[in-house]
Structure 1
Amino acid sequence: MNNIVSQKWLLERLDEPDVVIVDCRFLMGKPDAGRELYEASHIPGAVYLDLEKDLSAPLHEQGHGGRHPLPDIFDLTVALSRVGIGNESRVVAYDDQGGAMASRLWWLLKYLGHEQVYVLDEGFTAWAGAGFPVSSEQKELVPARFLANVQHTMLAEMDEVKERLGDAGITLIDSREAPRYRGEVEPLDKVAGHIPGAINRFWKDGLTDSGSWKDAAAQADRFADLDRDREIIVYCGSGVTATPNVIALQEAGFTKVRLYAGSWSDWISYSENPVAKGDEESPSKA
């Protein structure tokens, strides 16, 4: 599957009217920084969507839904329509965070039934560094009509994850860095560890040392020990950095991939949920 597009691919299509470029830059802990970066300089014609204001719902006071709850479907379709994304649009999302924020938009659009959405390889700094055009002019927004066709099978809820712990038909993937997965450190959430039975595949291992996305063969190597016939549920801390792993798995040819959107921060909001620490063995293909 082709979910990643090159800088040159986008450069050749900057002026095509059905292409909507979305700047998704966002810095955790600095909620206004992404928009400020966008206003200072962006790919010409790009619009801005904010991780917390547009691509997430407000936090639940009990912590349920995680640190970045999925947005309300109606609110999301309004946000997409406002910036000119319609059902026929070809959407290209970019960020400067290794593709994590752009992948969140990619996943949300796929979840709403929109197929023509892509992540720009490498991100904005690489684009500007390559000498491609940038601008501080903000595009005049022309609203479009976006109708959602929600793909419920792409999403896994907490109750199902809990019910299927230990199920041999499920592979659970934790996308966080190994020390967080093992429960050795936890800089963001109140409890350290991982969901019992989950294996670790750090999402940034889907990128090369230069910051570009690995090709399909290299992604397949990352997941070579996994059974393609099993369902895969992917999570991270809050449901954002798991989405690059969803893309990577699709690029590798896996078809039964779902996102636990609430992720670890949702899981631990239920005090009765079990927690594991340390490493776990990859599930056997047998």
Structure 2
Amino acid sequence: MNNIVSMAWVKEQIGAPDVVIADCRFVLGKPEAGREAYEASHIPGAVYLDLEKDLSAPVDEHGGRHPLPDIFDLTVALSRAGIGNETKVVAYDDQGGAMASRLWWLLKYLGHEQVYVMDEGFDAWTHAGYPVTDEVIEPAPVKFLAVVEHSMLVEMDQVQELLGKEGVTLIDSREAPRYRGEAEPIDRAAGHIPGAINRFWKDGLSASGSWKDGAEQAERFSDLDKNRDIIVYCGSGVTATPNVIALQEAGFTNVKLYAGSWSDWISYSENPVATGDEKKA
């Protein structure tokens, strides 16, 4: 099975004892909006996982705007949500898959294979007339044991060491104006990590909001060498994760996430900043 599953497939899983559907809706700058939307209406049986309370650690001097959660804290949150090592997990949001992809990546990072992102998202689900409810369930806690896949992650000092090295491609997943340093509405400095190329994460979606298939994703990244290590980042490590999925769908296997991303990079005053376009992939 691919990483992306259809709404029809998800509908068939409602009530299945080995499946947890996770609502990951979240609005940056409005931290309660996602939970409020969940409590008003969600896929029947879905649990809610909060980007900042469950899927991130508290913000500190370094680590970016959405630091990776402590492994123990994350396993507690997953266990409380009814997610065990054998559970199939389907994540959804209404932000094009960005928040759902964060949960997908975290579970993969913890060694959990059976995790998927629902295509199109909750708005499309409701427009299609699929069932919704406001009933909030309390799942029975189960044990989740993490087997951390360290090879999926790079830290800031590793990115520093790799700058300018052959055999590595650094991908910035933000919108082009932010990448080029022409605009920065969120972080305190504009620009990108030197040597990074730009692949806006939303270009992995079609005009209708559905995920492009593997062949279309491969076309997006056709100029990249699959033998090189790929490091993906964004502003805070969240919207980079849809690009990680897209690269996997395109057949890339050496893909790592710089989880702290741009907001972590610029928290170190000695780190260089580039602006404009980088021409070489």
What TM-score results when the alignment is normalised by the length of structure 1?
Answer: 0.98
- 1:44 Cα deviation from its structure 2 partner: 0.2
- Which structure 2 segments of 5+ residues have no match? none
Alpha-carbon separation, structure 1, partners of 2:241 and 2:138: 30
Residue number in structure 1 paired with 2:241: 243
- Which structure 1 segments of 5+ residues have no match? none
Give the letter aligned to residue 93 of structure 2: D
Residue number in structure 2 paired with 1:231: 229
Indicate which of 82, 85, 88 corresponds to 2:86: 88
**Post-superposition CA distance 1:94-152 (Å, at most 9, x none):** 00000000000000000000000000001001001100000000112210110000000
- 1:172 Cα deviation from its structure 2 partner: 0.1
Residue number in structure 1 paired with 2:23: 23
Secondary structure of residue in 2 paired with 1:12: helix
Matches within 5 A, 1:4-23: 4-23=4-23
Give the letter aligned to residue 275 of structure 2: K
- 1:12 Cα deviation from its structure 2 partner: 1.3
Alpha-carbon separation, structure 1, partners of 2:31 and 2:10: 27
Cα-Cα RMSD: 0.6
Indicate which of 262, 267, 270 corresponds to 1:269: 267
Residue number in structure 1 paired with 2:191: 193
- 1:281 Cα deviation from its structure 2 partner: 1.1
Q: Is the 8 A contact 1:22 1:49 kept in 2?
A: yes
What TM-score results when the alignment is normalised by the length of structure 2?
Answer: 0.99
Alpha-carbon separation, structure 1, partners of 2:100 and 2:138: 22
Secondary structure of residue in 2 paired with 1:115: coil
Alpha-carbon separation, structure 2, partners of 1:169 and 1:4: 29
Alpha-carbon separation, structure 1, partners of 2:178 and 2:86: 40
Alpha-carbon separation, structure 2, partners of 1:230 and 1:7: 34
**Post-superposition CA distance 1:34-82 (Å, at most 9, x none):** 000000000000000000000000010x2x1000000000000000000
Alpha-carbon separation, structure 2, partners of 1:59 and 1:280: 30
Alpha-carbon separation, structure 1, partners of 2:258 and 2:265: 10
Percentage identity across paired residues of the two chains: 78
Indicate which of 119, 126, 131 corresponds to 1:133: 131
Alpha-carbon separation, structure 2, partners of 1:139 and 1:209: 34
- 1:7 Cα deviation from its structure 2 partner: 0.5
Residue number in structure 2 paired with 1:161: 159
Q: Is the 8 A contact 1:226 1:282 kept in 2?
A: no
Residue number in structure 2 paired with 1:174: 172
Alpha-carbon separation, structure 1, partners of 2:131 and 2:50: 23
Secondary structure of residue in 2 paired with 1:35: helix
Residue number in structure 2 paired with 1:68: 66
Structure 1 runs of 4+ off > 6 angstroms?
Answer: none
Aligned residue pairs, count: 281
More displaced stretch, 8-17 vs 185-194: 8-17
Q: Does 1:45 align with 2:37?
A: no
Matches within 5 A, 1:204-223: 204-223=202-221
Alpha-carbon separation, structure 1, partners of 2:203 and 2:96: 11
Q: Is the 8 A contact 1:25 1:35 kept in 2?
A: yes
